[in-house]
Amino acid sequence: MGPDLTWYLAVAAFLFGIGALGVMLRRSPLIVLLSLEIMLNGANLALITFSRHHGQMDGQIFALAVMAVAASEVVVGLGLIVAVHRRRLDLDVDKLSTLRG
Amino acid sequence: MGNVVVWAVWFLAAFACLGSGAAVVSFSNPYYSALALIGNLGSLAVLYLLLSAEFVAAAQVLVYAGAVMVMFLFVIAYLGRHVDAPWAGGPSWQALGAVAAAGALMVEIVVVIGLKASGRLSDAPDVGAGFGSPFEVGKLFLTDQLLAFEITSIVLLAAAVGGVVLGSHARERNNFVESTDPGGPTS
Q: Considering only CB atoms, which chain A residues are within 8 Å of B14?
A: 7, 11
Nearest CA in chain B to A31: B30
CATH match of B1-83 with 3.40.50.300: no
A38:B44 CB<8 A: no
Using the predicted structure, report yes or no on whether residue A84 has a pLDDT greater than 90: no
- The answer to whether residue A96 sits within a structural domain is no
The per-residue pLDDT for B88 is: 66
Asked if the structure places residue A52 within a domain, the reply is yes
Exposed/middle/buried for residue B187 (C-beta within 10 Å: 0-12, 13-18, 19+): exposed
Q: Is the pLDDT of residue B168 over 70?
A: yes
CATH number at residue A52: 1.10.287.3510
In a domain, A32, yes or no: yes
For residue A11, tell me if it sits in a domain.
Answer: yes
> Would you say residue A61 lies in a domain?
yes
Q: Searching chain B, which residue's CA lies closest to the CA of residue A88?
A: B79
Q: pLDDT confidence of B160, banded at 50, 70, 90?
A: very high
If phi > 0 it is left, if psi is from -120 to 50 it is alpha, else beta; for residue A4 that is beta
Residue among B5, B7, B9, B17 with most chain A CBs within 10 A, to mutate:
B17
Residues in chain B within 8 Å Cβ distance of A95: none
Domain contains A101:
no
Domain range for A9 is 5-86
pTM (two decimals): 0.87
Count of alpha carbons within 13 angstroms of residue B152, beta-carbon side: 18
H or E element that contains A1 = none
Complex ipTM more than 0.85, yes or no: yes
| Distance from the first to the final alpha carbon of chain B | 76
- Burial class of B127 by CB neighbour count within 10 A (0 to 12, 13 to 18, 19+): middle
The answer to whether residue A28 sits within a structural domain is: yes
- Within-domain flag for A65: yes
User: Quick one: what percent of chain A has pLDDT higher than 90?
Assistant: 52
CB distance B136 to A58 below 8 Å: no
Contact: B59, A24; criterion CB under 8 Å? no
Task: Tell me the average pLDDT across B45-73.
Answer: 92
- Confidence tier at B91 by pLDDT (50, 70, 90): confident
- Ranges of H-type helices in B29-184: 30-50, 54-59, 69-79, 93-117, 134-142, 146-167, 170-180
Which pLDDT band holds residue A71 (cuts at 50, 70, 90)?
very high
Each domain of chain B, given as residue ranges in start order, spans: 1-83, 130-170
User: Which of A66-70, B61-65, B91-95, B124-128 shows the lowest mean pLDDT across its residues?
Assistant: B124-128
* Cα–Cα distance for residue pair B25/A42, rounded to 1 Å: 15
∠ CA A5-A7-A59 to the nearest 5 degrees? 45
Contacts of B110 in chain A (CB under 8 A): 10, 13
- Comparing alpha-carbon positions, the chain A residue that sits nearest to B126 is A55
Domain count, chain A: 1
